[in-house]
Amino acid sequence: MLKFIGNILQNLTHKPATRPYPYQKRAPIAGNRGHLVIDPAVCIYCGLCSKRCPTQALAVTRKPNPNSWTLDPYRCILCGYCVEVCPKHCLSLKPEHGDYSSPNSP
């Protein structure tokens, strides 16, 4: 049991291992798959991403309908398959975790 004393002293003298979230947020780790974004200027609305999406989270419409690309964030599993298949490379995953609880979420 005495071997644990070092650990106990460390716990007494060090700061907590946790952070007071949400007041203090950790910087996102580079390379994390946090949320999906599109560059609408480059997109050609081919619909390949929506065909390949394993969860049908994406919906793409094109002529004769107005061009649109919509993401259902509650279905998206952030796998990144759409990013791989996009022929124009207009989709990308950003490291910040998306805040989908608010209507104007990233």
Partner 1 sequence: MSRITVIPFGPQHPVLPEPIQLRLELKDEKVVSALPVVGYVHRGLEKLVETKDYLQTVYITERVCGICSFIHSVAYCQGIETIMGVEVPPRARYLRVIWSETHRLHSHLLWFGLLADSFGFENLFMQIWRAREAVLDLQEATAGARVILGTCCVGGVRRDIDQTGRDLTLATLDKLEQDIKKIANPILKDYGVQQRTVGIGRISRELTYERGAVGPTARAAGIAQDLRQTGYAAYGELDFQPVVETAGDCYARLQVRVREMNQSIELIRRALERMPASPISVPVKGNPDGETVSRVEQPRGEVIYYLRGNGGKNLARMRIRTPTFANIPALLAMLPGAELANVPVITLSIDPCISCTER
Contact positions toward partner 1, by CB under 8 A? 1, 3-4, 6-7, 17, 29-33, 52, 54-55, 77-81, 84, 93
- Least distance to partner 1, CB of residue 31, Å: 5
Residue 62 or 94: the one with the smaller Cβ distance to partner 1 is 94
Cα(92)–Cα(3) distance, integer angstroms: 49
Among the listed residues 25, 30, 55, 44, the one whose alpha carbon sits nearest the alpha carbon of residue 89? 44
Cα(76)–Cα(45) distance, integer angstroms: 19
Residue 42 or 77: the one with the smaller Cβ distance to partner 1 is 77
Q: For residue 44, give both structure tokens.
A: 């050609």
- Least distance to partner 1, CB of residue 14, Å: 11
